[in-house]
């Protein structure tokens, strides 16, 4: 089983990229589980098209332990298994602790043994990398961490902090930094700034995704680009990203 964590600043297009990556991997024949680790619980919406699904924390709050894996998992495009960790009641809890509780509940219920996914992708908010937000990069969860950024200063700052967190766990056998994904916003000197970031954190830019109207067109339809516009150049960029990530994880693709 390949386990990946994708981090990035909120609003950078992280969940859009992850969902298209999941869809592309599913089209390649892999059984994929995508776990949204954002209190907004909107990571997987373009995969299943539902306005709202039950989050793990919703189930814990309302039903204690009286629920099944099927209550936690929603099947989306291409059979992608969609899970949303969810967040605490506003003002009454810590989002980081919520992520810890949700991931522990998935393990307790035997999600990985029952569904046997080939690839698990944790979609994690990276504005802060503390407590529960660092959980997916710890032992037993992701093996590789990928960071999405644009050339905007706040996005680069968040990406650097994420890389520092991965480096801090390095001696414990936790996840490794697999690389940087540039999600272009077409700001000045964008590629040069992101290449400089990659050099500073001793990593590399593994993909540079175009800023494309096709992404918004697909979102307006409530779908991924891979599903809505499979023959588009943008869909091919996501498929190329999927192949690159598999190769980094040691999987040979044709």
Domain harbouring 191, CATH code: 3.40.50.300
pLDDT above 80 for 94: no
Helix (H, G, I), strand (E, B) or coil at 61: helix
pLDDT of residue 52: 85
Residue 106 lies in a domain: yes
Residue 66 lies in a domain: yes
What b-and-e string marks burial along 172-192, b requiring 16 or more CB atoms within 10 Å of the CB? eebbbbbbbbbbbeeeeebee
Domain count, the chain: 1
Measuring CA to CA, which residue among 113, 109, 102, 108 is closest to residue 69? 109
182 vs 40: which has the higher pLDDT: 182
Q: Which stretch of 1-15, 33-47, 84-98, 230-244 has the lowest confidence by average pLDDT?
A: 84-98
* Residues belonging to the active site: 9, 14, 40, 127
Residue 253 lies in a domain: no
Residue 164 lies in a domain: yes
pTM of the shown model: 0.93
Burial of 208 (0-12, 13-18, 19+ CB in 10 A): middle
- Condensed to tens digits (0 to 9), the pLDDT of residues 39-79 reads 888 999 999 999 888 899 889 888 888 999 999 999 999 99
Residue 254 lies in a domain: no
Look up the domain containing 134 and give its range.
Answer: 2-248
In a 13 Å sphere around the CA of 209, the CA atoms on its Cβ side amount to 33
Residue 29 lies in a domain: yes
């Amino acid at each position: 089983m390949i386990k990946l964590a994708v981090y990035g600043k909120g609003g950078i297009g992280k969940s859009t990229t992850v969902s298209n990556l999941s869809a592309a991997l599913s089209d390649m024949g892999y059984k994929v589980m995508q776990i949204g680790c954002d209190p907004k619980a909107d990571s997987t919406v373009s995969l299943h098209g539902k306005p709202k699904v039950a989050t793990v924390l919703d189930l814990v709050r309302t039903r204690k332990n009286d629920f099944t894996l099927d209550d936690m998992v929603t099947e989306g495009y291409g059979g992608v298994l969609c899970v949303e960790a969810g967040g605490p009641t506003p003002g009454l809890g810590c989002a980081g602790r919520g992520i810890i509780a949700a991931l522990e509940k998935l393990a307790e219920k035997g999600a990985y043994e029952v569904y046997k996914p080939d690839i698990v992708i944790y979609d994690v908010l990276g504005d802060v990398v503390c407590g529960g937000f660092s959980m997916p990069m710890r032992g037993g969860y992701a093996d590789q961490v990928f960071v999405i950024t644009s050339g905007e200063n706040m996005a680069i700052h968040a990406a650097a902090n994420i890389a520092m967190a991965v480096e801090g766990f390095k001696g414990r056998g936790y996840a490794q930094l697999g690389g940087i994904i540039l999600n272009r916003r077409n700001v000045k000197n964008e590629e040069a700034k992101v290449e400089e970031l990659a050099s500073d954190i001793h990593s590399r830019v593994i993909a540079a995704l175009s800023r494309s109207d096709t992404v918004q067109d697909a979102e307006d339809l409530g779908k991924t680009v891979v599903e809505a516009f499979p023959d588009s150049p943008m869909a091919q960029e996501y498929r190329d990203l999927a192949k690159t990530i598999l190769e980094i994880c040691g999987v040979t693709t044709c």
